[in-house]
Structure 1
Amino acid sequence: MESKTRNSLLIGIVGMAIALLYFGQIYFGASDADGSQSVSNPVPEGFVVPDFNRVQLAGQIAFEANCQVCHGQFGLGTNKGPPFMNEIYAPPIHADGAFVFAVAQGSQQHHWNFGNMPAIAGVSDDEVIAITAYVRALQSANGYE
C-alpha cells in the first residue's frame, strides 16, 4: 500500500512539473523556429495604452497572434525584432502601406540589425489593416505621429 501511495505521489509531482514548464513557456514567451527565446523590451514608465475602437481591438488580437513574438508587447520590440514605438515607424517615414507590404512580401533589414523579416503567411489584408490601426493608435498615444 505504501508503494502505491509513493508511486501516486511521484506521478503527481512529475505531472505538476510538466504542467508548470508548459504554462511557464506560454506565460514567459514563445520560442522561434530555431528554438531561441524572444525577450520583450520592458514597458516604459509613462507608456500609454489608449482605449481602442473595434478595429484596433481586432488589430491587437491579430498583432498578439502574429507580430508580438518579434515586435514585443505593444510593439515595444524584442531581441528578435524592432520596436514600432519609434519615430522611424511613424508616418510619414513608414506609411500604412509599408506594414501591408512587409507582411505580404517580407522586408529587407534596413533600420536595425535584426535580419530580414520574412513574409507572414495566413494574415489577411483585413487583419493587416486592423494591426496597422492598432499600432497607429499606440504610436499616437505615445507621441509618435
Structure 2
Amino acid sequence: MKQLNVIGIEQQPAKQLAERLNELLANYQVMYMNVRGFHWNIKGESFFELHAKFEETYNDLLVKVDEIAERILTLGQRPMHAYSTYIKASQIQETKDIHDGKACVREILDGYRIIIQLQREILAAANEADDEGTASLMSDYIKEQEKTSWMLTAYLG
C-alpha cells in the first residue's frame, strides 16, 4: 500500500520534491540578497530607473521565497532557514560591490537562468508525482520570469 501525505501525494516523491524546492529556495535567497545589494549600491545615469526596478525585483523574490517555503511545508517537509545552508546549496553565487547598472542586470539574468532551469526540472518532477500545486507554482514562475528575462535582455540592448 502506498503511503500518502496529508495532501494525498506519495511520501517519497513528496520528499524528493521538497528537496528540490529547498535547493530552489536557497537560490532564491542568495539572488534576493544580491538584488537587494544592487538596489542599495547602484550608481550612474540609470540610477533612478534601476533603483526602482531592483526594488520591484527583490520584493517579488521575497514573495516567492515565502511561497516556496510554504510549499515545502505543505509537502510535509521542512524548509532550509539558515544563510550558511543557502550558500552551500545555491548555484547562484554571492555578488559583492557591483555598482554598474548593466553589470547588475547581467547578474540578475544569470540568476534567472539558473532558477528557471531548476523550476523546469521541478515542474517535470511535480507532474510525474501528480503534484498539481507544485507544478502550477513552477509554471507560473517560469512564465513570469521568461518575460522578465526578455525585458532585461532588451534593456541591455
TM more than 0.5: no
Q: Which has the larger radius of gyration?
A: 1
Higher RCO (CA < 8 A, seq sep 6+): 2
More helix by share: 2
TM-score (ref. length: structure 1): 0.29
